[in-house]
Structure 1
């Protein structure tokens, strides 16, 4: 990676992903060895994970969550991979009831409209404040974003209540 890091960040913000492609090409074999040694991942799964981490990193740069490149980018990205692996293990270890509840909630979430999903994702999962949500979604101001988030959450709660009611009805009928 001959490109200076500050320049790479600027290029990433403009949508030029050549820095990440080069990083992937140079690091994929090393990453696969690390993933096998640390987490018993096969090379294909390790390569998929590295690509997912690079996409996540690109999203962080593009939406302003990362404003300067970390001093040790490889270590930073491997740390992101470590977090994803740990999250997958934690999810896999959840009791079946909790896993079932989460799956049901994801099904209900997918029934929301795209805008409602996006507002909730920005606010709850990306931690955006209402000003940033408004900017990302093209709303007039933060108040509109807050109203949209409230309405989206209300819809989600109503859909979940309806789904739970239907599940209870089918359990009684069965």
Structure 2
């Protein structure tokens, strides 16, 4: 199903489309959210709330000009919800990149709407598409899906985590070189 079709079905409150969106992205979101070192319950709560927020935005026609994938948008909402939950619990969450930002998922989510990719994003996309299959796999698993080095090593059957670290480092170096050309 295309992104456009998914958005149309979500606008119509199609339960099958919502269920499909929920099940297809649940495990990826959980793996992505684990890097923020919050409890599994908080992760699941944030995911549920993000699905609800996304659904409401779709019903109100606010996803019509979405310039990223629905999954990226969903993860963006979920990430901010996790941050807010940690902040409300007055816990310091290590490695949380948004710790000092004020939170409002509605305004933050709007940042994904109607915004064309900037020059760096276009260069990054172009460079990324020209990488080899193994590099793409490692970078997607680490940066997009939130896998740890150990999880990547296991999933891709690498000898040990040092091989994954080296591979990731080489891939980042290649990507930088492609961007700087």
TM-score calculated relative to the size of structure 1: 0.51
Whether contact under 8 Å (1:53, 1:80) holds in the other structure is no
Larger radius of gyration: 1
Whether contact under 8 Å (1:53, 1:77) holds in the other structure is yes
Q: Structure 1 residues 58, 123: closer, same or farther in 2, change over 3 A? A: closer
Whether contact under 8 Å (1:108, 1:159) holds in the other structure is yes
Alignment RMSD (CA, Å): 4.2
What corresponds to 2:138 in structure 1? 119
What corresponds to 2:164 in structure 1? 145
Does residue 54 (structure 1) correspond to residue 27 (structure 2)? The answer is no
TM-score calculated relative to the size of structure 2: 0.49
Structure with the larger helix share:
1
Aligned-pair distance for 1:159?
A: 1.2
Matches within 5 A, 1:72-91: 75=49, 77-79=51-53, 84=74, 89-91=110-112
Residues paired across the two proteins, number? 123
Structure 2: any 5+ residue segments left out of the alignment?
A: 1-5, 58-72, 78-105
Q: Select which of 39, 42, 47 maps to 2:11.
A: 42
- Larger RCO of the pair (alpha carbons < 8 Å, separation 6+): 2
Structure 1: any 5+ residue segments left out of the alignment?
A: 1-31, 163-174
Aligned-pair distance for 1:59?
A: 4.0
Q: Structure 1 residues 59, 71: closer, same or farther in 2, change over 3 A? A: closer
